[in-house]
Structure 1
């Protein structure tokens, strides 16, 4: 019986990433053929029938080193009707002073100062209430928005009144280390491909917090951002879609971001992402059982399966470690973690996925191929990292007291 359980664990550990890779690749190819190839990339987009006012929102907490560059890119948007609202959320550096100085340079800029650290969700709420526009483009204090990003996302907003949000295409700026190079491939072959596939198959797990456009009436319908969720972007994405609003992905809406390039910084970031996903799943599971929420079932099911896979891998690794130091029954003995034929198959599929994403994403980044050969390390580094963070995050999400304010913690910005 125990042998059958171990065999089932090993089979699940193999087939889950295999099946999901095939789903993501097929969905990404369908998305490209159906929508993406029709639009020329990195050139001036087609004119819009109307240009309603848009508020560009940038919450800032201790962003003194980046904020001038961020505001400059917002001000250079090739969209004729916008304002900028920056929220200085209890910064302890010179962020607030720099923003006040920038108001003289950029007439479209307004600044909201908060006396203490209230968290990104509260900052976004304050900006939404102060906004004079019906649409918000939200980013981060270290993100550089492409000149036509607002234009690309507003195309979707004007196409259908049911579109509540459009998520853009984050690109990695800092690539000085192996972790930085791996994240270039990850955002292309994993995150970008997943968003394309989810757009094809029905629902998107989350908008990107660093670049997303929102319809303010849709945000009002769901009560704006919750201030007690670790990842406000995942939470608002689920609530919008559970209210039957639509979220779309626009790969031409580019945004250049800084990411952690240390193991410690990466661990903290991915642990927060994993905890945010678990919090959302725990909070809305009971509502998902309703037939009206059936379009959210694939997204929720995939996330549950990813959690089960992480715990399955943890059990397999634990059995292998125990087997190295103490005798175990043959039915529980894992002789090696080194790749056998299963590992060769997964490695080949993984590289095929990276190749497909590279062919698609070279439209947005012509020299992305130079990062391809680094991706052979991706399964070793990131699968282990995501397994560990998922295992740790679920208990943290379960034990977190509801209503606890999620406040800013300055992240690792990597090496520039």
Structure 2
């Protein structure tokens, strides 16, 4: 094989997962980052606070030389609302204000503006004033300089994107009255003043953020007789039903006492502090709003994805278990093996010097006297052909050819095979005694075109081979039983598979169109009207990769080849008979469980890890535990079905995390490579073969 995959696929996958995690972070911040706000910060030392601030008015201007605190005019009240806009409570507050014909000033949180831009526009359209309350309700007195700058820049941007306006009014979260300003608060005032902002405090805190009655809110917000006031209330950050209930009563009470309600800037005698935003700020803000609104949809989509994955995985486990039981009952009376039937064995070999002798000798000792073994050395660079010739037996022939890839080697072997029943075996595979006779027994049915055997892992030493051993028994073995029941097996494994020569010829032999020639030929046989069946009692032990690199290379070829084969035979969905069963039963299963589900798994895993790290949800933990138990049960059942030991069951939870995650990345690798228009292919060192069929990105 020659790899022509560009490195871009890793960047695509990394970018997708990064964007997904960023969206989760933004959504978590938007949905859970802002709670009920109040003056919960301790005051601390205040010896550095100027007297003009501590004893001055609630609007502090420190942008020039000496700070100035603007006081509210007597008999004037400026209603201010923090922590909005909120889809439940802001409209209620606006309704009361409109009914009482009272203007107010809303200090909005940037995240909420991005979620509810229409509400901010409604506030301005009703004649109210808007100021900033940071982006995430951050404590500016404790935040580093870079965070303060980022909070205000993002808040200014989303306000510009939502309304086309900018403002210099800023109310720091957790702020209170001027006499409560501490040294840290004063430092924050100076930092924000350097960025061009007026700091807005309050003179009357309604304490509506505390649990209390509407009457308590009214009494706490009433200023001393005749004095002006900046009243702090909230239209977001929690249940504001008591605020809404108190607001109308409060306005009526103060109007009866002769107070006048106005906006904040008018109350302290300042000119309006809003202005048209620069065009760049409006564009940037609109893009930021779109990003945040998209991010907010991610947790819901992720929850649906997790639910879909859970349902599909549970359904698959139940389906495989039921199919295994049904297959065992159906195949109990299968055709008895006849070791006397003549059979040819084709063994393609490429650099298999170490394993070819054991493979050939096992075939000769398998109990079939009329056997013909054709070893095809496909341009090996070692002594594969010489090793095969050391098996001194007239039933063994060794052919050599320049390297043309496995399909060409198989076709060459079939052309030289002496019999009509042809067994194809990989050179690193050792067949169990009697396996050949069991495979060819099913050809007594003239409708059978191919028989798939049961592949076992030979080298079960080390964690990686043991994981593959469990996979071969749990996944491959159970799925082949299911496909056999469906009447459309999509794969005849290269390690052990038997074919009728007539069936092969009807499909034009082994095709090099895909990298999964064993899947391609099985699908072609189904479409040609032949039955492809599975023989679970015909065992073959094959060597599996022992390094991550080798496993990745193998599974990448399998995944890409499966993708090619599904695309090549996609028209089977419209065809009748065995082809229709392949197209309408098997192909959807392959697409769903071998392509789509593995592609969704990294996103689900990332969401689960994110939820655990930030403690946003415990659902993934319970889901993982439930499916680990289900996988354990299925593994035990599958091992018993194949008469295997249960001593490796303890590896199943690890297999379902580390090993499964790696295979999911392999599938994503193959899909992204296909989308980018490049992938591996069988390669002749001297003559490049035809390109494999293109796989559109939509697949």
CA distance in 2, matches of 1:80, 1:176: 34
TM-score of the two chains, using structure 1 as the length reference: 0.86
Going by fraction, where is helix more abundant, 1 or 2?
A: 1
CA distance in 1, matches of 2:352, 2:469: 23
SS in 1 for 2:423: strand
Contact kept, 8 Å, 2:608 with 2:621, in 1: the verdict is no
Contact kept, 8 Å, 1:166 with 1:250, in 2: the verdict is yes
Q: Are residue 200 (structure 1) and residue 200 (structure 2) matched?
A: no
Q: Which residue of 2 aligns with 1:312?
A: 600
CA RMSD of aligned residues (A): 2.6
Matches within 5 A, 1:307-386: 307-317=595-605, 335=616, 339-362=620-643, 365=644, 368-386=645-663
1:286–1:89 distance in 2 versus 1, CA, 3 Å: same
1:324–1:198 distance in 2 versus 1, CA, 3 Å: closer
Q: Which residue of 1 aligns with 2:317?
A: 21
CA distance in 2, matches of 1:140, 1:337: 46
1:191 to 463, 468, 476: 476
1:113 to 380, 385, 400: 400
Q: Are residue 151 (structure 1) and residue 437 (structure 2) matched?
A: yes
Relative to structure 2, which stretch is displaced further, 237-246 or 2-11? 2-11
What is the CA-CA distance between 1:186 and the residue it aligns to? 1.4
Contact kept, 8 Å, 1:25 with 1:197, in 2: the verdict is no
Contact kept, 8 Å, 2:337 with 2:438, in 1: the verdict is no
1:90 to 367, 372, 379: 379
Bigger radius of gyration among the two: 2
What is the CA-CA distance between 1:243 and the residue it aligns to? 1.3
1:402–1:346 distance in 2 versus 1, CA, 3 Å: closer
2:415 to 118, 121, 129: 129
CA distance in 2, matches of 1:336, 1:268: 36
1:355–1:403 distance in 2 versus 1, CA, 3 Å: closer
Q: Are residue 276 (structure 1) and residue 561 (structure 2) matched?
A: yes
What is the CA-CA distance between 1:31 and the residue it aligns to? 0.8
What is the CA-CA distance between 1:138 and the residue it aligns to? 0.6
CA distance in 1, matches of 2:490, 2:347: 22
User: Structure 2 unaligned runs (5+)?
Assistant: 1-296, 686-699
SS in 1 for 2:367: coil
Q: Which residue of 1 aligns with 2:466?
A: 181
Q: Are residue 68 (structure 1) and residue 357 (structure 2) matched?
A: yes
SS in 2 for 1:370: coil
Q: Which residue of 2 aligns with 1:414?
A: none
Q: Are residue 142 (structure 1) and residue 428 (structure 2) matched?
A: yes
1:218 to 497, 503, 509: 503
TM-score of the two chains, using structure 2 as the length reference: 0.52
What is the CA-CA distance between 1:147 and the residue it aligns to? 2.1
Q: Which has the higher contact order (CA 8 A, sep 6+)?
A: 1
Contact kept, 8 Å, 1:230 with 1:406, in 2: the verdict is no
Contact kept, 8 Å, 2:341 with 2:368, in 1: the verdict is no
SS in 2 for 1:132: coil
Q: Which residue of 1 aligns with 2:301?
A: 5
1:21–1:266 distance in 2 versus 1, CA, 3 Å: same
CA distance in 2, matches of 1:288, 1:353: 31
1:318–1:127 distance in 2 versus 1, CA, 3 Å: same
Contact kept, 8 Å, 1:124 with 1:225, in 2: the verdict is yes
Matches within 5 A, 1:257-296: 257-292=542-577, 293-296=579-582
SS in 2 for 1:181: helix
Contact kept, 8 Å, 2:514 with 2:520, in 1: the verdict is yes
CA distance in 1, matches of 2:666, 2:486: 27
SS in 1 for 2:646: helix
SS in 2 for 1:254: strand
Provide the aligned length of Structure 1 versus Structure 2: 386
What is the CA-CA distance between 1:321 and the residue it aligns to? 7.6
Contact kept, 8 Å, 1:320 with 1:335, in 2: the verdict is no
SS in 2 for 1:247: strand
CA distance in 2, matches of 1:110, 1:151: 21
